[in-house]
Amino acid sequence: MEKEQVTEPTVLYSKIRGLSRWEVRWLQCALENAHFSKDPSTKCGAVIVDPCGKRRVSEGYNGFPKTIADTKERIGDRDFKYSAVIHAEMNAILAAKCDLHDHMLFVSGPPCDRCSAHIVQTGISRVAWLSPTQDYWDRWEESCLFGRHLMDEADIMMMEVLP
């Protein structure tokens, strides 16, 4: 049987200087949120902005649920961490108090497969992220590329920003 033709989803690449000052602001906010994460290996931050692009409606960073103790031992335990952690995008979606249809999501790095599925389900129509470091990409490439296909099929406009 012939192999199915796989085409890479369209991702618009942009130099940061090509962005509006609002877009730069939201990416900076996403990065600031990332610094709040206690995870030493992966720090991610996210911001959700309303359709006009000038009002933040939610934000988040990766971490354990709020009543789950984030001790050093647990953060250092990969199995515990992977099962318990909520990613930045998911925390931002969960914290939002409104319908996210047509909203924009700004993330400090490319979303994984699970976050992408949830992003699609919210109706968010545009996602921008900072291009990942090599270390991040080595660990998350497969998951992020799958997520990209999901968002592409849902007609989400994706933009990877090269700092």
Check residue 107 for interaction with Zn ion (CB under 5 A): no
Residue 124's SS3 state is coil
**Chosen residue from 86, 100, 105, 112 binding Zn ion by CB under 5 A:** 112
Residues belonging to the active site: 89
Residue among 34, 100, 115, 119 that touches Zn ion (CB under 5 A): 115
Angstrom distance (rounded) from CA 65 to CA 1 = 46
Cα separation of 53 and 139, whole Å? 31
If we measure between CA atoms, which residue out of 108, 86, 100, 95 comes closest to residue 26?
A: 108
> Among residues 112 and 130, whose Cβ is nearest to Zn ion?
112
Contact track, Zn ion, 34-73, x by CB under 5 A: ----------------------------------------
Rg (C-alpha) for the chain, rounded Å, is 16
Q: What three-state secondary structure class fits 102? A: coil
Nearer to Zn ion, 115 or 128 (CB): 115
Report the nearest approach of Zn ion to the CB of residue 128 (Å): 15
Residues near Zn ion (CB under 5 A) are 87, 112, 115
